[in-house]
Amino acid sequence: MVIKQSANDEGAFVRALTSEMEGAMQDLKKDISRMAYGTGDGLLATITGTPGAGTSLTVDSGQYIAVGDQVDVLLKSTGVVTNGVANVTVTAVSFTGTANSATQTAATITISSTTAGATSNLYGVYITGDRNQESDGLRNICNTSRTLHQINSSTFPIWDSNVFPAGQANPSEDLFMQAAQRIRMRAGNKGTSVDCFLTSLGVQRRLANTYASQKRWNDAHVTDVDGGYSAIMVAAGNKPVPVISDVDCPFGTAFALSKDSFAWAEVARPDWLEAPDGKGSILHLKDGASAGTKVDIWQAWIVWYATLVCVAPLRNAQLTGFNDDLPVARV
């Protein structure tokens, strides 16, 4: 339709096409950010109630689910639909959890088609087609007794990372320091120290609040009021380490990271998927419902064949169960 509407204005079509392609690139970046915090299996949330046949589902986390997402509700153990549903649209997300609790991210989501009764804890929500197709992420990398890069750390404990449960408490510098010191001890004589802590906005703010009573203005610029911190620093190892917040970090969680233990392993840089016609075409007519038919909609796919890898999980840590804010709906 855009092609027809802009038949007499090539610039209008170019602007519309450029906007769509740039938007797709931004969407890919956002999705990669979500995956980088994930568990490697594509799971967005686990069903926590048995809704029967209906379109309203209670889930343990709505943090990574947005209105308009195309999702599958599948049996987590096998990936089959059974009492779930495939390729449906999320039409509403309503958060039901309580701040400063283990249910902070709990939500009710509404989907466009009914399930036959997805059993609590057995069914999960996935981006359509993404189950077991996503890169490993920090929640799996920085964990224990799990399989990472096809190595089971229950068999090889040196492949375990480090986990520190906070027990639904406010973040403290002490717990951050414990994580950094555990990493230094496990790394032995390599002298490894943490490069940064990565956490949610609410956890970073609560950590900053623990420093509030220690702020002093004793120099000649005492009347120059600055609005807050440029960074939150934690004494870890031989240097102060910044605590950085990210909107995609799991709520109530922080990660202690040694950056040189990570890499993105890629086959090629992100690019548009070309048609097999040898002409470099990236726009394709959408397939119709019947074989051999087409719909008057042009489609394009941007792809990045890559995965996040970690060569030394023991040099990283995950701090879980901090008090945090309630999430808000994603767009």
CATH of the domain at 199: 3.30.2320
- Does residue 112 lie within any of the structural domains? yes
Q: Are residues 106 and 162 in the same domain?
A: no
pLDDT for 225 equals: 46
**Lowest model confidence (mean pLDDT) among 110-114, 179-183, 235-239:** 235-239
Q: β-pairing, 271-272 with 284-287?
A: unpaired
Residue 140 has pLDDT above 50, yes or no: yes
Residues 190 and 318 in one domain: yes
- The pair of structure tokens assigned to 31 is 């999705």
Say what the pLDDT of residue 197 is.
96
Sign of CA dihedral 118, 124, 125, 131: negative
DSSP per position, 40-60 = SS-EEEEB-S---EEEEEEES
pLDDT given for residue 19 in this prediction: 78
Task: Based on the fold, state whether residues 252 and 318 are members of the same structural domain.
Answer: yes
Predicted confidence at residue 194, as pLDDT, reads 92
3-class DSSP state for residue 323?
A: coil
Q: Please identify which residue in the block is written with the tokens 């190892």.
A: 237
Which range, of 101-115, 155-169, 236-250, 255-269, averages the lowest pLDDT?
A: 236-250
Domains contained in the chain, number: 2
261 in the same domain as 190 = yes
Instruction: Choose the most confident range, by mean pLDDT, from 12-21, 225-234, 262-271.
Output: 262-271
Whether 91 and 161 map to the same domain: the answer is no
- Residue 94: partners with Cβ closer than 8 Å, 6 or more residues away: 62, 107, 108, 109
Is 161 within a domain? Answer: yes
Q: Are 206 and 242 contained in the same domain?
A: yes
Domain of 157 in residue numbering reads as: 138-215+230-267+306-322
Per DSSP, helices labelled H in the chain are: 2-5, 10-36, 138-141, 173-186, 201-211
pLDDT at 274: 87
* Residue carrying the six token digits 């009764």: 117
In contact, 318 and 142? CB cutoff 8 Å? yes
User: What pLDDT, on the 0 to 100 scale, is given for residue 276?
Assistant: 77
